[in-house]
A and B are shown apart, each in its own frame.
Chain A
């Protein structure tokens, strides 16, 4: 799986958009970009994933650059409940290829 680089921490004001970047410059053509988050003491929660097109669901949007070397997770209107550690993971979604969690970005949403 390609290595990812994320900032250690970020702050965001409540109600504003939170933009979380992820670099994955060694990504290969068949690897997807996944985002999970972990709210304190809970199990990780799936957010969104994509291959090369931008994706949007009820939780977030995922913007992947044209060269696929980086991506941004966007929480359009951050709330205090979005305070969590956000993990960017790049992998081939095959049967024997498991999720590998790195350090992630600790997002603090402030009132």
Chain B
């Protein structure tokens, strides 16, 4: 298994540009999520999904959209990039066993710089 993969690894955007960060997992996990991590800070949840067709907002959803058309993929879209969105973005996945969420697996991250 490749686990959780993210593309691109690095990206530079100009203010106002839009882009999509890709996340894929091959473990058939129901749950997927996006976090951002600013320098010297902990991770903050942006959006999450508990299954295909189901998404919900996390702690810091403004400026981001997500969709979950398949179990494997969970792309994060920046609608109009702002310098405040400069961060490292991590995608994660996990499964549920008897209603309990098991350990989360994280991708390697996408480093985004917005000028």
| Chain A residues within 8 Å of B, Cβ to Cβ | 41-46, 49, 87, 93-104
Contact = CB atoms under 8 A, between A and B. Distances in A.
Interface in B40-80: 41-45, 48, 50, 56, 58-59
A93 B42 contact: no
B33 A98 contact: yes
A99 to B, nearest CB: 6
Interface of B: 4, 31, 33, 35, 41-45, 48, 50, 56, 58-59, 88, 90, 92, 96, 99-109
Contacts of A46: 103-105
Contacts of A41: 88, 109
23 contacts: A41-B109, A42-B108, A43-B4, A44-B43, A44-B92, A44-B104, A44-B106, A46-B104, A87-B42, A93-B102, A94-B101, A95-B31, A95-B50, A96-B56, A98-B45, A98-B58, A99-B33, A99-B45, A99-B92, A100-B59, A102-B42, A103-B41, A103-B42
Contacts of A95: 31, 50, 96, 99, 101
Nearest to A95: B50
Contact of A45 (B35, B58, B106, B109): B106
Contacts of A101: 35, 42-44
A39 B81 CA distance: 28
